[in-house]
Structure formats: structure tokens, C-alpha cells
Amino acid sequence: MVKIAPSILSADFGKLGLEVRHLTNAGADWIHVDVMDGHFVNNLTFGPVVVSGIRPYTNLPLDVHLMMTNPGRFIQPFAEAGADYITVHLEIEEDISTVISQIRKEGKKVGLSLRPSTKVSDLLPYLPDIDLVLMMSVEPGFGGQAFQPQAIEKIAALKEWIGQKPVLISVDGGINPVTAPACVLAGADVLVAGSFILKRKPYSLGIQALKECIRGVK
């Protein structure tokens, strides 16, 4: 079953806990949390205290996407705050293997993410050590951007490389009922969607529309 992971980047930050509860009740499978450091991307969002603040509002996995140049010293705080998946970018300034070990040491699932311009082959050395690849289909930093279609080929290539390994492919950016089926057909297991889900109410409308459009594709 393909999972739908609403991104709370498009939520009302004035009532984040309630937004997480609404998304949970609306049928979300995971909650995607976009952490931005104002350096890796030109935007600033939330830190571990906010993750611990929303944690009591859902039993769903918290899928924490760290858009940070130097995530290393924040792995333990995000883990203790209640993250389930911790994803860092391949383009960071730190040693990837060290950061992967830090996440493992905390007992959390490990994700690696690629910007649209980063080659899938750069990821291959790490595939045996990770649980998830977060394929960016927009330039990270902001919600509401148009899906970049080259992500489809990258997902398909990655799927081949993954083969039978237990690594999930997640796609992030510009997901809607037009782009979602192509992603799933190419091999995506998780669809991250911010604006499509959160810009219409109730949230079950967007979540159901995404589930509906991929029915039968996988």
C-alpha cells in the first residue's frame, strides 16, 4: 500500500498540534515534517521542540525531513523529540556515513534525500544502510511549487537499483492527482503532499483524492 504523508509545511503554524490531529483523523499514513535551517535552503521552520510539541497529537510515524547543512548535532534532539524517520540530504557538508550511524544509534529509521539536480548514482553506496530515499521533485525550501517531471525517471532508475532491498522510495514536491499516479507507476512507496492536501478542507478530501487516483496503479 502506498502511503500518503501530508507535509505540515502548509499547515496553520498557529495551531500545529490540532492540524496534526486533523490530518491523522483524515486518513494520513505518516506526518511529514519539513525542517529548514535558513542555510541549506532559504527558509526557516521548526526545531526539535516543535516536533516534541506535536508528538502527543498523533500515533502516526513522524517523517522528519532535515533540510540542514549540518544536521549531525541535531540528530539526537530530533530523535528524543519523537521523530520516527530522520532524513538528511546527500548534499550536506558532513560525512554521510557518520550521520547515518548517528540516526541508527538513536534507533530511528534512516532516510537520504536528493535535490532535483543530484544524480541517483551518488546515493548508491549508501543504499544498503538506509530505509528510505526521499526524492525531491521540486527544489527544497518552499511548498506549492510545480512538479519537475525528471523525478519520474530518477524514481524508476532508483527502483531498479533497490531491487529487493527493503528501502522505500518517497517523493516530495508538487504531488497532486495528476503527478501521483506516474510516481507510483515508477516505483514510489510514499507520497509527500503539502499544498494539495492542506489547501482544501476537510483534509480527508485531498487524502482520499490521492488514494483514489493511485488505486489500481499499485
Q: Which of residues 154-183 bind ligand DX5 (CB under 6 A)?
A: 172-175
Identify the DSSP state of 166.
Answer: S
Q: Does 111 bind ligand DX5 (CB under 6 A)?
A: no
Contact 171, 150 (CB under 8 A): no
Positions marked catalytic: 34, 172
Say if residues 202 and 26 touch (Cβ distance below 8 Å): yes
Q: 32 — phi, psi (to 5°)?
A: -95, 130
Would you say 131 or 172 has its CB closer to ligand DX5? 172
- Nearest by Cα to 211 from 168, 180, 170, 179: 180
CA 5 to chain centre: 7
What DSSP assignment string belongs to 39-60? Answer: SSSS-B---HHHHHHHGGG--S
Alpha-carbon distance of 136 to 113, in angstroms, equals 7
Residues 179-218, one symbol each (x = binds ligand DX5 by CB under 6 A, - = not), give: -------------xxxxx----------------------
Rg, Å, the chain Cα set: 16
**Summary count for the chain: helices (H), strands (E):** 8, 8
**Interatomic CA distance for residues 103 and 113, integer angstroms:** 14
Give the nearest distance from C-beta 35 to Zn ion in angstroms.
9
Binding site for Zn ion (CB under 5 A): 34, 65, 172
Measured distance CA(103)–CA(188) in Å, rounded: 23
Lay out the site mask for ligand DX5 across 25-64 (x = CB under 6 A, - = otherwise).
-------x-x------------------------------
Rule CB under 6 A: say whether 3 interacts with ligand DX5.
Answer: no
Which residue in the shown chain puts its C-beta closest to ligand DX5?
194
The mark string for 68-107 relative to ligand DX5 (x by CB under 6 A, - otherwise) is ----------------------------------------
Quick check: 7 binds ligand DX5 (CB under 6 A)? yes
The neighbour count for residue 46, using CB atoms within 10 Å, is: 18
Q: Shortest gap between Cβ of 131 and Zn ion (angstroms)?
A: 16
- Minimum distance between the CB of residue 7 and Zn ion, rounded to whole angstroms? 6
Segment interacting with ligand DX5, rule: CB under 6 A, options 18-26, 95-103, 114-122, 140-148:
140-148
Which residues in this chain contact ligand DX5 in the complex, by CB under 6 A? 7, 9-10, 32, 34, 65, 138, 140-141, 143-145, 172-175, 192-196
